[in-house]
Amino acid sequence: MKTRALPTLALICALGLAATACSDPTAGTSGADTDTKQTAVDPTARLDGVQLTMWTAQNTVNAPKQVIDAFEKATGAEVNTQAVPDLYEQNVPTRLASGDRPDLMFWQPSISTLPFIQPQQNLLPLDGEPWESKLGDTEKSLGIIDGKRYAAIVTSPAMLGVYYNKDVFKAAGLSEKDFPKSYDELLALGHTVTDKTDAAAFYEAGGDKWPLQWQMQVQLTDLDKQWWADLNENKEKWTDPVVVGAIKKYKEKLLDAGLAQKNYRTGTFTGQADALWKGEAGMVLNVTSFQSQLQAKYSTAEIDERIGWFPIANSGATGLYSPDQTNGVVAFKTGDDKRQNAARQFLAFWLGPDYADYIKAMKIPSVQPSVPTPDGLPETSKDQVAALPTAIGVFQAKAIVAPDTHLYLADMLFDKKSPQQVAQAIQDQFAQVAKAQGAPGF
């Protein structure tokens, strides 16, 4: 999955859900959360005659297929998937506001995106479910709003780091001992690539826009928890010199310095994979969906031979994690206790008896330390699994609103905005949406 900020229109639609939920009698018959103890569920108990509906995005409709088939066979229940048209993050809140709702749904379990489906009003709290304590520490931190759990974490968040072409690095005289331990060292390594090979140091995807955010994101990792807490209360702003400096460094020290490929304004996500594979670029800074492209085209052995990965942050060799839509599954309040408990049973089955089979079928890392990641994954994937426990969250996991940073950075690529103007546009959108959301301090 690509990871991107919710578009402004989606935020407006989502915010409309808040008002609708107050007046719409179908918007969660149980109202706000209560502390009522939920009935324990047996993951494999019979559910003959029970029908559940699960919403997915267009490109993730097959993601739950293995677990659905296994659950139906084990319990007799029927789980029907419905693919919501793109843009998923925009159309889901609109459908919910109209009174339509599923039993289960994929949704990004971050503090910037989970609130837009009004979890307190619409979702079943999942605190104390049998799978919760089995999650890894990073995964355990996701899916929580105001201290309550509203999402089951079924896949690990994407990892942000540097994919590199081993042949290009070898030609440049680079090895693991040269891996950077800061963003400045990463840029210096980029110069080594351009000085000693014919490859571009980085491939930037200005045409698709959304990957542009990552070069900026990596540079914000020295901002501490208090800074983000203050940002969320309007005490700090996106126009902070650290943020402006990150945008400026991306422009001046990478793009203007010739470290990106010549067509960086129109480069694409798929173009990144092709260029890195062919050795036309030495590095790509992106999330796990980039690797998914490679795995769809090449074998594990081919990837291991040609592509490597390393983590990077502003002042250390630390990766970043980025929640996406396929990480979280939420269960809705429908007013039907039988279906609600069946939805919880489905999650207990997914993260219980079926989990090892699920991740093996999907060829993905495990979210549970007690369930080993399946064999046969590329070394790049294993390196990301190893980096996850100490990874730092991207701003989507820290800020109460995820602005369309990539769009404003794209404007900068075409000289429509300066770094200061990019930061101001980010701040303006952030404050506007936070205010509409009713966030304290705005």
Measured CA to CA, the distance from residue 88 to residue 384 in angstroms comes to 27
Given this model, what pLDDT does residue 59 score? 85
DSSP 123: B
Is the pLDDT assigned to residue 14 strictly greater than 60?
Answer: no
Could you tell me where the beta strands, DSSP code E, fall in 95-196? 104-106, 144-145, 148-149, 152-153, 158-165
β partners of residue 329: 106, 152
Separation of alpha carbons 340 and 350, rounded Å: 15
Contact between 367 and 139 under an 8 Å Cβ cutoff? The reply is: yes
What is the set of domains in the chain, with CATH numbers?
8-157+323-371 (3.40.190.10), 159-321+396-436 (3.40.190.10)
pTM for the complete prediction? 0.86
Tokens at 225, concatenated: 């928890």
Torsion of CA 21, 27, 30, 33, to 10 degrees: -50
- Local confidence band at 39 (pLDDT 50, 70, 90 cut-offs): confident
Q: What is the predicted pLDDT for the residue at 86?
A: 85
pLDDT at residue 16 tops 90: no
Q: Convert 276-295 to b/e letters by CB count within 10 Å (16 or more is b).
A: bbebbbbbbbbbbbbbbbbb
Q: pLDDT tens-digit profile of 312-346?
A: 999 999 999 999 999 999 999 999 999 999 999 99
**Contact yes or no for 157/142 (Cβ under 8 A):** yes
Segment 424-433 mean pLDDT: 98
pLDDT in tens, 240-284: 999 999 999 999 999 999 999 999 999 999 999 999 999 999 999
CA distance 31 to 121: 5
Residue 14, helix vs strand vs coil: helix
Whole-angstrom Cα distance, residue 118 to residue 333? 11
Across 161-174, average pLDDT: 99
What is the per-residue pLDDT across 98-119, written as a single tens digit (0 to 9) for each? 999 999 999 999 999 999 899 9
Q: Is the pLDDT of residue 422 over 80?
A: yes
